[in-house]
Amino acid sequence: MANEYPPVHYHEYLGLDRILNAQSPKSHEYGNPAHDEMLFIIVHQVYELWFKQLLHEANSVLRIFAAERVQEKEMGLVVHRLDRMSEILKLLIDQIRILETMTPLDFLEFRDMLFPASGFQSFQFRQFEVRLGLKRDNRLQFNSKPYTSALTPDQARAIDLLEKQPNLFDCLDRWLERTPFLNVAGFDFWQSYKKSVMAMFVRDKNYVTQHPSLGEEDKRRNLEIMTKSEEAFQSLFDEQTFEKARTQGQWRLSFKSVHAALFIQIYRDQPVLQLPFRLLTALIDLDELMTNWRYRHALMAKRMLGTKIGTGGSSGYDYLKASTELHRLFSDLNQLTTFFISRSKLPELPEDVERELGFYYSTKGS
């Protein structure tokens, strides 16, 4: 049978002439070839190709999440694409090891030729961060200026427009707020759960105070940590207290969304909640990998530059290290584990809620 499409050649399809001729080492241009500059260029070009794929996946997820009504049948596709993004980030982290086969002295052979070029000028990576939900107010400033100052004027304007569009964090917040089962007539789940958690704190405090191997200073420190955790827990049951903590940066998700995320996490074994649980897990994985990538980048900068400034004029290692924690997006989902209790001590759900969460089916005979 004849193919209905015209023949395609591998080389042409992949545009290899353009890709393989896109490396122009500055050291060659200036007549003092540095062998490792080719590695430096190719590694960063590959980064940009993967950034393009990350954006492709993120945009597809947002098209689903930003809809007026999120179709539950598409949530499996969302999880799949988030998992793919995580696998790409693992590859990007491993790629640093290849770059580190270039020694600091090898880098110095051509580094001065690159000023003021810098990874801070990666337009695609900035787009990816914005699509995930990193807000301008939550960013570390670049040389005491907005992060867009490192971009071209056209790119900066494009970022300004992108920041006004839906992002993954805000879409997640809205999606969680629509979670059913949080308010059940005749059953005060949250008060039952609060009682169980407070009992857990009492047990933990007794364990610390009676532990024979802990010194007084260790006991004091552990009890202080538990007291802070207990105070944080109290905020989950008082919206006014929660909002105060939220304005102080302790939470980013809304009061209702945090409740929904906690409910999904602790009742993850219920069939209806398994896919939402996988979604939250995929976002935690993605956030941790982004943090890991930033940290590995910071370590590489320290290894290559010591305390020198970066080629873009930043403080190099210090800037990268500071952004590692500050630029986290889904840490709310991680800190919910503070409020977990064992399955055996979870409040028992009403029968009608259990039925809705459990894929109950009935068949009627004729």
Average pLDDT, integer, range 348-354: 78
- pLDDT digit string, tens, across residues 220-272: 999 998 888 888 778 888 889 999 989 988 899 999 999 999 999 999 988 88
Given CA atoms 89, 48, 135, 65 in this order, what sign does their dihedral have? negative
- Which class would CATH give 12-187+252-357? mainly alpha
| pLDDT > 90: percent of the chain | 57
Single-letter amino acid, residue 52 = K
- pLDDT digit string, tens, across residues 60-105: 999 998 887 888 889 999 999 999 999 999 999 999 999 999 999 9
Long-range contact set of residues 231-238: C-beta below 8 Å, sequence gap at least 24: 232/335, 232/338, 233/194, 233/197, 233/201, 233/338, 233/339, 236/262, 236/339, 237/190, 237/194
Indicate if the pLDDT at residue 47 is higher than 90.
Answer: yes
Tokens, residue 247: 């304005």
Cβ neighbours of 349 (radius 10 Å): 19
Phi-psi region for residue 144, left (φ > 0), alpha (ψ -120 to 50) or beta? Answer: left
| pLDDT > 70: percent of the chain | 92
Which 3 state secondary structure label does DSSP give 333? helix
CB-based contacts of 286: which residues, under 8 Å, 6+ apart?
Answer: 82, 85, 86, 89, 132, 330
Average pLDDT, integer, range 6-24: 96
